[in-house]
């Protein structure tokens, strides 16, 4: 791939919609200042779907949700005034003086930064009584902003400059589009998306739960375990085909190990520690150190490499309470982890292989993803700069060979190495990191991982940490939203439910269910003395792919009358024929397995 395909983070295109959203942000600030004249302005940029503005209300009462209609009303009044947006340019020192005089502390700070960056002049935009340090551009006049293309949406907190050690601001969000229709479409879509929130669907389908007694730790209910098992069976099968072996390592390990790995000093605030027999120990937040011990159990020959060692490890991390978010962000989760040990020459082939494996997995679910390369963090890292450079080049080389576009996130790597992340989106289009491939040249050093080369000398091994679902828990959350609970047959917690029309048919229904269970399907039956209408309606929240209605006619002929999810009606067929029909659907690859050719070792 050419370097041009790399999408570095670039400023957004300043098109008409950008101008509309940006101008509305100014109008928002103007309206807010009418209500709180002493509010200090921070930033107010356009964003996806709209805009926001950050305010510091100081000692005054902050504006909240209940004030949003009033803000919106005032904004519409401002639009009617048809204020002109006018740009003027001031020498930076004059601007500083002006802003200082107005007491706009945040603007002063920003202006100062602009000055330090070498700007001799800065621009201001004025509309009506409102004047703001601003790069622009804007629309010409407030009449260009139709009153029905925006909605003041919600408030939240934010930090000045996104830094948790700096002041907390009140952020007011608006959504805005070029036309009323687009706004309404967006609001409709968003309302629909909220209905498939995995926390709502998960409760409705009996997949998982949370309790105050274990904050941030999911409880998996029988239906949730069924889906997880299906995910993990698929994962193991695919990984076995790709030459992986599997291990399991302990949950609690000694402090010495975590000191060797660097976690004790670089990851301490996220670790649960405890004392056992007066020794410091930690509950594992990652599986890698245990994996290192296993690698070192015996000397390795280059002929054994690459060695791909998988582990479905349950890890605990003490996340900040405010970061917890359903299954997307928990304090204990299962990683579909693997560590690949190899020679430096094998890096590119091996990483391309992992990307390909991830791509295979995501495509089975129909998930789109974005690739992101994360480089060395500024602090709390282990390993030399040279190692980081080599490792980063290795990942970049693999990405270039893979040939799809990727973003670069400077400084976002793990403390032991750079990484490639696979970003998936939830129902509300929010991005979540799932798969990750982390190249590590530091831990092999610390744990002295070696192999004997063809020259009969000892060489330093290179390793990759990788997870493709990432966290099974988070991935499940995203899948729930992706499918809105209507999982494909192979994932569905209940694949078929038998619905007898009258109580006399319960025995036959039981017989049908048993046959399906024996054929390996997840089946239940509803023998309540309800009407068939009621039984069908009651089944709806479970999104069961096959509802099998059995009445007198079916019982006499040894058949079932399937009603598919989506309400399609099939002609009655025998249980054996039904099983034949369902069997391929119970396989992620629908009975065909994609061939994969391992990269050759030179």
Task: Give the annotated binding-site residues for Zn(2+).
Answer: 288, 339, 465
> Contacting RNA (CB under 7 A), which of 210, 406, 416, 490?
210
Would you state the torsion angle of the CA atoms of residues 602, 593, 398, 420, taken in this order, to the nearest 10 degrees?
Answer: -140
Site for RNA in 248-307 (CB under 7 A): none
Backbone angles phi, psi at 89, to 5 degrees: -115, 130
**C-alpha count within 13 angstroms, C-beta hemisphere, residue 19:** 13
Helix (H, G, I), strand (E, B) or coil at 554: helix
CB of 123 to RNA, least distance (A): 25
Binding to RNA by residue 392, rule CB under 7 A?
no
- Number of CB atoms found within 10 A of residue 116's CB: 9
111 as an active site residue: the answer is no
Verify whether residue 482 is a known catalytic residue: no
Active site residue 211: no
Residue 570 tokens, joined: 């099939």
- Report in angstroms how near the CB of residue 315 gets to RNA at its nearest: 8
Q: How far is the CB of 243 from RNA (least distance, A)?
A: 23
- Select from 19-27, 28-36, 91-99, 207-215 the region that touches RNA (CB under 7 A): 207-215
Residues 315-374 that bind RNA (CB under 7 A): 317, 319-326, 329-331, 333, 335
CB of 593 to RNA, least distance (A): 26
Distances (CA, A) of 367 to 301, 329, 586: 39, 19, 19
> How many residues of this chain interact with RNA, rule: CB under 7 A?
78
Residue 213 DSSP symbol: G
Candidates 467, 491, 492, 579: give the one binding RNA (CB under 7 A): 467
Ordered DSSP codes for 145-156: S-TTSEEEEEEE
Which of 1, 158, 187, 519 is in the footprint of RNA by CB under 7 A? 158
Per-residue binding string, RNA, 171-200, x by CB under 7 A, is x-------------------------x-x-
Contact positions with RNA (CB under 7 A) in 417-436: 421, 428, 430, 432-436
Minimum distance between the CB of residue 330 and RNA, rounded to whole angstroms? 5
Residue in 30, 335, 346, 438 annotated catalytic: 335
* Cα distances (angstroms) measured from residue 421 to each of 156, 355, 360, 407, 547: 28, 10, 15, 10, 40
User: Distance (Å, rounded) from C-alpha 71 to C-alpha 25?
Assistant: 12
Residue from 82, 301, 569, 593 in contact with RNA (CB under 7 A):
569
Q: With b meaning 16 or more CB within 10 Å and e meaning fewer, what string describes 135-147?
A: ebbbbebbeebee
CA distances from 230 to 54, 181, 186, 330, 540 (A): 45, 42, 34, 21, 22
Task: Indicate if 337 belongs to the active site.
Answer: yes
The reply to whether 465 belongs to the active site is: yes
Catalytic residue among 132, 153, 336, 337: 337
Shortest Å, Cβ 498 to RNA: 12
| Residue numbers belonging to the annotated binding site | 288, 339, 465
CB nearer RNA, residue 141 or residue 203 = 203
Which residues have a Cβ under 8 Å from the Cβ of 169 and sit 6 or more positions away? 42, 54, 55, 56, 157, 158, 159, 160
Distance of CA 19 to the CA centre of its chain: 30
Using DSSP's 3-state secondary structure scheme, residue 73 falls into: helix
Nearer to RNA, 65 or 385 (CB): 65
**CA-closest candidate to residue 171, choices 17, 42, 60, 69:** 42
Q: Of 22, 308, 331, 465, which one is the catalytic site residue?
A: 465
Q: Cβ closer to RNA: 146 or 190?
A: 190
Cβ proximity to RNA: between 251 and 450 the closer is 251
54 is catalytic: no
Query: Which member of 107, 138, 151, 419 is catalytic?
Result: 419
- What value does the CA radius of gyration of the chain take, rounded to a whole number of Å? 29
**339 classed as catalytic:** yes
Give yes or no for residue 35 binding RNA (CB under 7 A). Answer: no
Among 90, 187, 519, 532, binds RNA (CB under 7 A): 532
What residues are paired with 274 via a beta bridge? 281
Q: Which is nearer to RNA, 85 or 508 (CB)?
A: 508
Give catalytic residue positions: 288, 317, 335, 337, 339, 419, 465
């Amino acid at each position: 791939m050419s370097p041009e395909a790399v999408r570095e983070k670039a400023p957004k295109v300043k098109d008409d919609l950008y101008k509309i959203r940006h101008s509305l942000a100014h109008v928002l600030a103007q309206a807010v200042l009418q209500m709180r004249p002493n509010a200090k302005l921070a930033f107010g940029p356009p964003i996806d779907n709209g805009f926001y503005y950050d305010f510091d209300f100081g000692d005054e009462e902050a504006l909240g949700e209940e004030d949003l209609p009033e803000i919106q009303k005032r904004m519409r009044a401002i639009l009617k005034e048809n204020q002109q947006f006018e740009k003027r340019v001031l020498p930076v020192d004059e601007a500083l003086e002006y802003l200082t005089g107005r007491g706009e502390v945040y603007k002063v700070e920003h202006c100062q930064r602009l000055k330090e960056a070498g700007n001799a002049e800065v621009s201001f935009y004025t509309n009506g009584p409102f004047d703001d340090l601003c790069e622009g551009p804007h629309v010409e006049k407030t009449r260009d902003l139709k009153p029905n293309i925006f909605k003041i949406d919600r408030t939240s907190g934010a930090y000045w400059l996104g830094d948790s050690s700096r002041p907390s601001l009140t952020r007011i969000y608006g959504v805005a589009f070029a036309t009323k229709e687009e706004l309404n479409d967006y609001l409709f879509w968003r309302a629909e998306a909220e209905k498939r929130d995995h926390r709502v669907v998960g409760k409705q389908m009996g997949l998982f739960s949370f309790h105050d007694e274990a904050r941030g730790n999911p409880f998996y209910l029988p239906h949730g375990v069924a889906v997880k098992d299906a995910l993990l069976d698929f994962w193991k099968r695919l990984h076995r085909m790709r030459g992986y072996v599997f291990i399991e390592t302990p949950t609690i390990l000694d402090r010495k190990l975590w000191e060797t790995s660097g976690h004790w000093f670089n990851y301490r605030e996220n670790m649960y520690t405890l004392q056992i027999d007066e020794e410091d120990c930690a509950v594992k937040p990652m599986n890698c150190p245990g994996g290192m011990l296993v690698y070192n159990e015996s000397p390795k020959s280059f002929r054994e490499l690459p060695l791909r060692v998988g582990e479905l490890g349950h890890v605990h991390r003490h996340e900040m309470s405010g970061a917890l978010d359903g299954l997307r962000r928990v304090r204990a989760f299962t990683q579909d982890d693997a560590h690949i040990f190899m020679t430096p020459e094998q890096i590119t082939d091996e990483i391309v292989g992992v990307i390909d494996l991830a791509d295979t997995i995501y495509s089975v679910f129909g998930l789109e993803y974005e690739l992101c390369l994360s480089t060395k963090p500024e602090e709390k890292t282990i390993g030399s700069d040279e190692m980081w450079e080599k490792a980063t080049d290795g990942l970049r080389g693999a990405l270039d060979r893979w040939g799809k576009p990727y973003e670069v996130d400077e400084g976002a790597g793990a403390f032991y190495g750079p990484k490639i992340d696979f970003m998936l989106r939830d129902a509300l289009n929010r991005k979540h990191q799932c798969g990750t491939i982390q190249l590590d040249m530091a831990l092999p050093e610390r744990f002295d991982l070696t192999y004997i080369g063809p020259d009969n000398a000892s060489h330093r091994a290179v390793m990759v940490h990788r997870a493709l679902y990432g966290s099974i828990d988070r991935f499940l959350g995203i899948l729930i939203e992706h499918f809105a609970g209507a999982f494909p047959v192979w994932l569905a917690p209940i694949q078929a439910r038998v619905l007898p029309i009258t109580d006399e048919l319960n025995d036959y229904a039981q017989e049908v269910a048993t046959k399906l269970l024996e054929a390996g399907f997840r089946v239940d039956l509803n023998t309540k003395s309800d009407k068939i209408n009621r039984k069908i309606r009651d089944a709806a929240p479970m999104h069961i792919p096959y509802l099998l209605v059995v009445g007198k006619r079916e019982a006499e002929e040894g058949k079932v009358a399937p009603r598919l999810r989506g309400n399609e009606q099939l002609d009655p067929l025998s249980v054996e024929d039904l099983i034949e029909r369902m069997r391929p659907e119970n396989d992620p690859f629908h009975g065909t397995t994609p061939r994969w050719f391992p990269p050759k070792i030179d």
